[in-house]
Amino acid sequence: MATSPRSLKILLLGGSGLLSGAARKAFLSAGHEVTVLSRGLRELPPHGRLRLLKADRRDAGSLAAALRGQRFDFTADFLAYDGADVERLLSVPGFAPGRLVMISSGQVYLVTTGGRPPYREADSAAAVMPEPAQGTRDWREWSYGMGKRAAEAALAREAGARGLPALALRLPVVQGEEDGFNSRRLWAWLERMRDGGPVLLPDGGAQVVRFVYADDAARALLRLAGTEAWPALPALNLAQPGESTLLEFLRLAAACGGLSPKFVPVSAADLAAAGVSETCAPYWGRWCSRPDPAAALALGFTARSPREYLPAVVSAHLAAPPPVSHEGYAGRAAELALAKKLGL
């Protein structure tokens, strides 16, 4: 899949998140002109080829005022969470996004009733599960997945009507050096490893997990911006090539940080009874997706394994710890009490 070396005009919708930040750095390093549109809540490092536009993605007037008549070669949309977001963007008068990639999620598979992980792109066509009880974590996760499905459908419909090359890039949980200042999910585990207490591991860490490194996703966007052969697919999975158990992943993370955690297996029932099942263990449970990247790898996209990217990621977390804990760490006392009760 050959790529063009010419300088391109790039639009990033969202510029301060883990993945959008990696993409911004990748495009600037490659010599492209980058425009970031966001609400402007976070300052970005100044750069001679970086332009900032301030707008509320969910406000049609604000979005139109920022993008009316603007033309780009490539747009990466990190902020499309439902169909209306896509429709609002493509309704801006005179706006030409060029090739358009919407960052989607492997969660589009988790709201279905069919298929088994790892999920291939066609598995998203399975029937959708019933709506969970509102106000629950399951409902929030379901709503997110359903929103991404609606955004993908709108992308295919609206871009198709305008003759725009468009693609939904489906990702699992993203790992990266900057995540300590975003989701802090890896930090949730590292902070527990560092405090010396037992680290509760649901079902002994037997759950299979799969992630993607932020820099690899950014490289995929860079490739899509300049490729001469646009993928003839409405959606494409991108993830690390292999899978591991959660225990294997956490042991590797610990080794990368020179940590010696006390992992202890705990049943899901005991965690639920203690009220910590939803807060103590990121990457565990039914809402951690495992998309199969075989199609992307066959097209020449590449992604690294945890053994390749985790040393740098863990080192960055430990060298500059996040200023605040992961929200689940507030229940650490309850976790330790459960471990003591179970004799762990």
* Span 236-283, pLDDT tens digits: 999 999 999 999 999 999 999 999 999 999 999 999 999 999 999 999
CATH code of the domain covering residue 158: 3.40.50.720
20 lies in some domain: yes
Would you give the DSSP letter of residue 247?
Answer: H
Contact between 280 and 331 (Cβ < 8 Å)? yes
4 lies in some domain: no
Give the helix/strand (H/E) hosting 245. strand 244-245
* Span 316-342, pLDDT tens digits: 999 999 999 999 999 999 999 999 999
pLDDT band at 5 (very low <50, low <70, confident <90, very high): low
101 lies in some domain: yes
CA-closest candidate to residue 247, choices 202, 216, 285: 202
Where do the H-state alpha helices sit in the chain? 18-29, 60-67, 83-90, 107-110, 137-162, 185-194, 214-226, 246-256, 268-274, 294-298, 306-319, 332-341
Give the helix/strand (H/E) hosting 266. strand 262-266
215 lies in some domain: yes
308 lies in some domain: yes
pLDDT band at 43 (very low <50, low <70, confident <90, very high): confident
Evaluate if residue 176 carries a pLDDT over 70.
Answer: yes
Domain extent at residue 60: 9-341
2 lies in some domain: no
134 lies in some domain: yes
The domain total for the chain is 1
Contact between 105 and 148 (Cβ < 8 Å)? yes
**Residue that wins the pLDDT comparison between 344 and 61:** 61
In order, the DSSP letters of 122-146 are GGGGSPBPPPPPTTSHHHHHHHHHH
pLDDT band at 3 (very low <50, low <70, confident <90, very high): very low
